[in-house]
Amino acid sequence: MSAQEVFELLQSPCSGTQLAKQLETLNAFKGLGRENAVAAYSKHVCDRWPKAHDVLSHLEGKLQDHEHLLHSLGSAVFPKLHASVLRCLFEDSQRLRALMDVRELESKQEEQRAHGDGEGRFPLQEVVLAAGQAAAQYMPTAGADRDPHEVFYACPTATVEQLFKQVAAAAGAAGRQPGQAASDFEAVAQLSKALQVALSGALAQRASQQQLFPAAINAAVAGLNDPELTTSSDVCAALQALAEACCRLHPLLVLEAPRLQYDGVLLLSDLADRLLNACAASVTAAPPGQQRLARHFEYAALRDHFLGQLLGQALSLRQEDEAEHQIRRLQGLAEAHLAYKQLFEVAEATSSWDQLWQQMQQLRGDSFTEPLASYVFERLLKEGRHAMLLDLPQPFDGALQSFLSEEDASEHDVPLRRQLRWLHELRTGDYTGASQTLAQVAVHEQHSGARQRALALQKLSALAACPLWPLAMPGDEQASVAQADEALDQLHAAA
């Protein structure tokens, strides 16, 4: 097989079953990723140098040609290709669509600049040139000698990932110096817009592919342990860099440009939403085991960091309606990503405990995360808020009883949980359980006065469990009363 033969075949009108047979004759189904001849042809279509100066028209033409390629391959060829080859095919179309939308955005900015509507920096143009220049370094001489702007739009298989990298690099410089908060924020907002446009374009193309080729798309996703183009490590790095820039800029905006403070919170919220969704998809894509667990820890750390920052910024807003809107939005993100710390702190900051109780009934956790109720129990216990813990609404009685058991408690927590358990059992009317727990408390008490008190309460609890006492008493309660009396007699004798 020669690549040229495969290229000529794919350029012919042949399609479907006939195309599949001829490709098989040429051994075109062998090879992974770009080493496969079909994937190499896909790259050839995407990276074809322009013959006209209209960038957008050239991209549209290449996208049409690439979509024709996918339709020609169709259900007859896709099942014969490895998942890595399918990824190349589908993501190449997504790259073309992403660059089309970026070019439209850049054209609008150029028009605004020509009419004097835009002043100052144009960070999108800067990252486009930087991405084109970086990609040209790895190209043959024909590409290295071309204008970086032309390279960027002509070679999407190399430049789309470079766009993500250059956005991250540009965002890393923002918010480092006082006195330029407004201009830095405008740059970050423009970079965020460019990234959003690129990702939205790729996702729109991905959605269209899902409708047209559902089986092949599913095979491409399930067959690899790597995230897709729109949730790749480069995308996550760019989103994280932009979000970090927003965090650095917030205190500077408060001092230098307070009119932009709310816009900054809005932007951080948008970026956090996209970042956390991308990170969650990366966790799902990882193989089960240590690699998936490691990705989950990274995702959880970013979640707690940025949602914590977002909560602080939302609470600092002076307009009450703006603060309320952002807090509601934060709650939605926290619920979607099981950010229990932020849900608890929102309830504490706004005294919306009833809402937290509802969330505790709904959020049951996942394979990596405990239920929200367990987190709240543990936090109230560690913070010494025992009255609040014992006064939780009735639907949590059973879960709290299990939490206060000694099975999962650390050695340090056992005595405290035991003391709280009998109080909880009395509160819920489980007098038999309280009597049994108080018996354990008495055994472990070191001081005679405390032990005597526990034994007396044990006896009273056992008696309270017998509504017909003294006419009748079940055997367990009789044994508990007798054991308490005997222990009390021993204490009195020792005294």
Q: Which of 224-238, 301-315, 353-367, 394-408 has the lowest mean pLDDT?
A: 394-408
Find the angle CA(363)-CA(226)-CA(172) to the nearest 5 degrees: 80
Distance between CA atoms of residues 476 and 384, nearest Å? 34
pLDDT of residue 277: 97
Q: Using one digit for the tens of pLDDT, what is the confidence trace for 333-381?
A: 999 999 999 999 999 999 999 999 999 999 999 999 999 999 999 999 9
pLDDT band, residue 113 (cuts 50/70/90):
confident
The DSSP secondary structure of 215-270, one letter per residue, reads HHHHHHHHT-SSPPGGGSHHHHHHHHHHHHHHHHHHHHHHHH-GGGHHHHHHHHHH
User: Does the pLDDT value for residue 481 go beyond 80?
Assistant: no
422 with 441: CB under 8 angstroms? yes
Q: What is the pLDDT of residues 42-83, one digit of tens each?
A: 999 999 888 767 899 999 999 999 999 999 999 999 999 999
pLDDT bucket at 179, cuts 50 / 70 / 90 = very high
Helix axes 431-444, 414-427, angle to 10 degrees: 150
User: What is the pLDDT confidence band of residue 477, given thresholds at 50, 70 and 90?
Assistant: low
Q: Does position 155 have pLDDT exceeding 60, yes or no?
A: yes
Question: Which residue has 């996209």 as its token pair?
Answer: 274
Q: Which of 140, 190, 125, 136 is nearest to 159 (CA)?
A: 136
C-beta of residue 209 within 8 angstroms of C-beta of residue 217: yes
Q: What percent of the chain has pLDDT over 90?
A: 72
412 — pLDDT class (breaks 50, 70, 90): confident
What is the overall mean pLDDT for the chain?
90
DSSP string, 265-329: HHHHHHHHHHHHHHHHHHHHHSPTTHHHHHHHHHHHHHHHHHHHHHHHHHHH-SSHHHHHHHHHH
pLDDT exceeds cutoff 70 at 245: yes
251 pLDDT higher than 60? yes
Angstrom distances, CA of residue 104 to CA of 53, 107, 108: 15, 5, 6
- Kindly state the helix (H) or strand (E) to which residue 20 belongs, with its residue range: helix 16-25
pLDDT of residue 380: 97
What is the mean pLDDT of the segment spanning 109-131?
82
Residue 118 pLDDT exceeds 80: no
Tell me what pLDDT residue 470 has. 54
Mean per-residue pLDDT, 22-32? 92
Among 399, 471, 460, 463, which residue's Cα sits nearest to residue 428? Answer: 399
For residue 470, cis peptide bond before it (omega within 30 degrees of 0): yes
Q: How many C-beta atoms surround the C-beta of residue 2 within 10 A? A: 9
Per DSSP, the residues of 395-415 read GGHHHHHHHHSSSS--TTTHH
Q: Give residue-wise pLDDT tens across range 286-300.
A: 999 999 999 999 999
CA 206/CA 95 separation, integer angstroms: 10
Q: Which amino acid is at 212?
A: L
Q: Is the pLDDT of residue 314 over 80?
A: yes
- Which pLDDT score is estimated for 471? 45
pLDDT for the residue numbered 495? 52
What is the domain partition of the chain in residue ranges?
286-367, 370-419, 429-495
pLDDT score recorded for residue 33: 94
